[in-house]
């Protein structure tokens, strides 16, 4: 530091006169000393520093005829808390709140912040370097100002300049940080509409989603993720409860007729967005109720069926027509549907059993068929000693359902080790809690029979599931075997698309047993689109929903109509620029969670 003269004037007039002198600078706070006094930062070093900190009458906030008057020594906390500023100068209030909430800035003054240079490198050097650069004081995308640490940043705090990891991890790219901000502010309806921009069924996804968003949550760096699923469930239930406010039919028809074959989450999503925008939509479903996997594959303990029925009822009220118990390919052909439609979407899912060539495989039961039977209220005990082959979410559903129906012993056997199982951690935990035994690192070799009935199954050790490139290519040790007794064996190691309905129809191109979807979910036939599991293989509900929205937009473009209502809503929403820090959360280290039933009370 260089020597300087420090002066405390007694009045504003005295300070003004002193500042007219050559080599004199003002000091409004304390941290601005860094920029004023540190050697080498300024071209000309000051000889005198005039402090404004103790001048009387400089801490007021007043509304006068010519506008808002803020004293230089008013603190940012005063500005943030001022009702007058909140009411008439919203941008200023937001900026002050963004910066003032961390403890280190609670007493920071307006003068102290305005006198200093912008500290955030993201904004400081774009003109010099030809573009914005990553900040050396943050970890990856995460600005520390967002977490209540503003020592290295400008008065404006943290700005949202990129897609957050939670949003990036979500297949539908839900703007999670935006609706969380709205929830904190009590703007529940606005938060619900943000979700509806990408997902019309949050009451469903909140209950069944893998919630990849929570895996990417910034908060994981410090303790644990926010309970995004819990907030989504609250908002989703609110949307269903007040569907007349959130999910309305079109104000006018656009004259275009769309047919959707299959009523899984992709098809229902497309139906919602298309109908909302004036399309006449008819959905063909071979089961007696719409919903696809939502109604027939996911157990009721995870997704109560009245939730699905409420959502379908909303679509019906909007004007969507459902033709259930209609088997396309038998009761009506795809050709016939195509001829009466302006465009067609195929969402027939993956309901067919894959055969793996296992000796005795014909004596095993297809896990998905078991779940369908249970969802059709066939609730008999499946067996006494049940073995479930597979380690994904369907396998978990099969195992837990079998246990709840009264099977004495349920053993799940899968190729993957515990830390790399494809099932959600939540599902694995639930299965273990309910008494399912999980055996990792084994693949099926042979079904054992006694008097023509299943008596057990032999497994071979699998020391490696993926090859060096990360592809599925299991390696087995045929000399290391495991035998498990069983009277019922459930196979839950995959599903295939049933494409029989395409026979004799237009030449819709398929690839590896699935419908080949091109850009925009187009098929090889003009005007026919496809989305969901029938194009990707078994995937998550939220991924199917994302495909449904993409397909709806592609159909809209094909039909050459105006933008969908959902597109207009997303474009019109004012995106929040500043990210605020909620000081009340500083000492919270656990997310709020709903209480769960005890294992004994679950059914």
Beta strand segments in 391-450, E: 409-414, 437-440, 442-450
* 205 touches 199 (CB < 8 A): yes
Please report which helix (H) or strand (E) contains residue 260, including its range.
strand 257-261
How many angstroms separate the CA atoms of 527 and 535, rounded? 16
* pLDDT (tens digit per residue) in 138-178: 555 566 655 555 555 555 556 666 788 899 999 999 999 89
State phi, psi for 131 to the nearest 5 degrees.
165, 160
* Half-sphere exposure at residue 352, Cβ-oriented, CA atoms within 13 angstroms: 15
Return the number of other C-beta atoms located less than 10 Å from residue 428's C-beta: 18
Which residues fall within 8 angstroms of residue 34, CB to CB, at 6 or more apart?
41, 116
Sort strands 514-515 and 488-491 into parallel, antiparallel or unpaired.
unpaired
* 555 touches 530 (CB < 8 A): no
User: Could you tell me the two tokens for 201?
Assistant: 């069924």
* 189 touches 200 (CB < 8 A): no
User: Could you tell me the two tokens for 86?
Assistant: 């909140």
* 398 touches 490 (CB < 8 A): yes
How buried is 559 (Cβ within 10 angstroms: 0-12 exposed, 13-18 middle, 19+ buried)?
A: middle
Please give the domain boundaries of the chain with CATH numbers for all domains: 5-114 (3.30.465), 121-159 (no CATH), 165-245 (1.10.1060.10), 247-351+497-572 (3.50.50.60), 373-491 (3.50.50.60)
* 320 touches 286 (CB < 8 A): no
* Half-sphere exposure at residue 193, Cβ-oriented, CA atoms within 13 angstroms: 18
Return the number of other C-beta atoms located less than 10 Å from residue 492's C-beta: 25
Residue with tokens 């039919």: 249
How many angstroms separate the CA atoms of 87 and 475, rounded? 67
Per-residue three-class SS string for 114-165: HCCCCCCHHHHCHHHHCCCCCCCCCECCECHHHHCCCCCCCCCCEECCCCCH
Task: Give how far Cα 464 sits from Cα of 355, 414, 415, 467, 468, Å.
Answer: 22, 12, 8, 7, 10
Task: Give how far Cα 239 sits from Cα of 291, 490, 577, Å.
Answer: 18, 38, 26
Cα angle value 458/459/461 (rounded, 5°): 150
User: Could you tell me the two tokens for 15?
Assistant: 């300070």
How many angstroms separate the CA atoms of 343 and 225, rounded? 42
Return the number of other C-beta atoms located less than 10 Å from residue 347's C-beta: 31
How buried is 466 (Cβ within 10 angstroms: 0-12 exposed, 13-18 middle, 19+ buried)?
A: middle
State phi, psi for 466 to the nearest 5 degrees.
-110, 150
Distance separating the N- and C-terminal Cα atoms of the chain: 72
How many angstroms separate the CA atoms of 164 and 221, rounded? 14
Which residues fall within 8 angstroms of residue 234, CB to CB, at 6 or more apart?
none
How many angstroms separate the CA atoms of 282 and 271, rounded? 8
Q: What is the pLDDT of residue 309?
A: 97
Alpha helix positions (H), 82-187: 83-88, 90-100, 110-114, 121-124, 126-129, 165-169, 176-184
By C-alpha distance, which of 516, 601, 570, 582 is closest to 175?
570
* 388 touches 492 (CB < 8 A): yes
User: Could you tell me the two tokens for 386?
Assistant: 């049940």
How many angstroms separate the CA atoms of 113 and 150, rounded? 11
Please report which helix (H) or strand (E) contains residue 473, including its range.
strand 472-485
Taking each helix axis as running N to C, give the angle between helix 228-241 and helix 305-318, from 0 to 180 degrees, rounded to the nearest 10.
50
* pLDDT (tens digit per residue) in 223-267: 888 899 999 999 999 999 999 999 999 999 999 999 999 999 999
User: Could you tell me the two tokens for 28?
Assistant: 């409004």
Q: What is the pLDDT of residue 39?
A: 45
* pLDDT (tens digit per residue) in 87-109: 998 888 887 877 665 555 567 77
How many angstroms separate the CA atoms of 307 and 239, rounded? 12
* 196 touches 242 (CB < 8 A): no
How many angstroms separate the CA atoms of 493 and 389, rounded? 7
User: Could you tell me the two tokens for 37?
Assistant: 């006094």
Phi-psi region of 449 (alpha: psi -120 to 50; beta: other; left: phi over 0): beta
Q: Running along the chain, 603 residues long, what does each successive block of 10 average in pLDDT?
A: 80 89 78 49 73 81 90 84 90 77 64 58 51 52 58 55 84 92 92 97 94 87 88 96 96 96 97 98 97 95 95 98 95 94 96 92 95 89 95 95 95 95 90 95 96 94 93 94 97 92 80 91 95 94 96 97 95 75 73 77 71
Task: Give how far Cα 48 sits from Cα of 32, 52, 322, 576, Å.
Answer: 15, 13, 81, 42
Residue 444: beta bridge partners?
A: 459
């Amino acid at each position: 530091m260089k020597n300087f003269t420090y002066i405390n004037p007694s009045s504003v007039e005295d300070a003004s006169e002193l500042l007219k002198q050559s080599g004199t600078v003002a000091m409004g706070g304390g941290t601005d000393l860094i920029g004023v006094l540190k050697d080498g930062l300024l071209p000309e070093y000051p000889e005198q520093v005039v402090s404004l900190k103790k001048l009387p009458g400089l801490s007021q906030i007043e509304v006068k005829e010519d506008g808002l008057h803020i004293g230089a020594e008013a603190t940012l906390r005063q500005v943030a808390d001022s009702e007058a500023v909140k009411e008439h100068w919203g941008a200023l209030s937001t900026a002050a709140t963004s910066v003032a909430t961390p403890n280190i800035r609670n007493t920071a003054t307006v003068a102290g912040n305005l006198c200093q240079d912008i500290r955030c490198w993201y904004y400081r050097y774009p003109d010099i370097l030809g573009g914005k650069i990553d900040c050396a004081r943050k970890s990856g995308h995460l600005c520390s100002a967002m977490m209540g640490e503003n020592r290295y940043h400008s008065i404006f705090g943290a700005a949202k300049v990129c897609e957050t990891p939670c949003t990036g991890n979500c297949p539908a790219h839900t703007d999670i940080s935006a609706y969380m901000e709205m929830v904190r502010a009590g703007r529940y309806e606005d938060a619900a509409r943000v979700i509806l921009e990408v997902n019309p069924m949050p009451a469903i996804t909140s209950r069944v989603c893998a919630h990849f968003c929570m895996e990417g949550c910034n908060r994981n760096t410090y303790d644990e993720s926010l309970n995004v699923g819990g907030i989504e469930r609250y908002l989703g239930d609110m949307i269903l409860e007040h569907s007349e406010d959130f999910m309305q039919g079109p104000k006018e028809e656009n004259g275009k007729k769309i047919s959707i074959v299959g009523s899984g989450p992709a098809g229902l999503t497309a139906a919602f967005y298309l109908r909302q925008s004036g399309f006449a939509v008819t959905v063909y479903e071979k089961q007696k109720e719409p919903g696809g996997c939502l109604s027939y594959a996911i157990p009721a303990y995870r997704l109560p069926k009245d939730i699905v029925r409420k959502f379908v009822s909303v679509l019906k009220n909007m004007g969507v027509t459902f033709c259930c118990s209609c088997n396309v390919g038998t009761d009506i052909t795809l050709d016939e549907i195509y001829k009466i439609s302006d465009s067609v979407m195929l969402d027939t899912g993956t309901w067919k059993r894959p055969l793996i060539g296992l000796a005795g495989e014909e004596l095993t039961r297809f896990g998905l068929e078991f779940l369908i039977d249970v969802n059709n209220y066939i609730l008999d005990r499946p067996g006494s000693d049940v073995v479930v082959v597979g380690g994904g979410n369907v396998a978990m559903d099969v195992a837990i359902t079998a246990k709840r129906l009264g099977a004495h012993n349920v053993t799940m056997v899968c190729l993957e080790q515990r830390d790399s199982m494809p099932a959600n951690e939540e599902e694995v935990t639930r299965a273990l809690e309910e008494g399912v035994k999980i055996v990792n690192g084994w693949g099926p070799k042979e079904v054992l029979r006694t008097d023509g009935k299943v008596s057990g199954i032999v497994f071979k050790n699998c020391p490696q599931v993926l090859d060096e490139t990360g592809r599925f290519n299991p390696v087995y040790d045929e000399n290391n075997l495991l035998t498990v007794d069983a009277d019922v064996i459930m196979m839950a190691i995959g599903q295939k698309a049933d494409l029989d309905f395409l026979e004799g129809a237009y030449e819709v191109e398929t690839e590896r047993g699935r419908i080949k979807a091109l850009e925009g979910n187009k098929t090889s036939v003009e005007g026919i689109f496809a989305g969901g599991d029938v194009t990707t293989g078994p995937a998550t509900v939220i991924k199917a929903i994302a495909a449904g929205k993409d397909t709806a937009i592609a159909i809209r473009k094909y039909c050459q109509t105006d933008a969908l209502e959902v597109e207009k809503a997303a474009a019109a929403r004012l995106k929040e620029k500043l990210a605020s820090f909620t000081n009340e959360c500083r000492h919270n280290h656990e997310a709020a969670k709903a209480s769960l039933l005890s294992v004994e009370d679950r059914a």
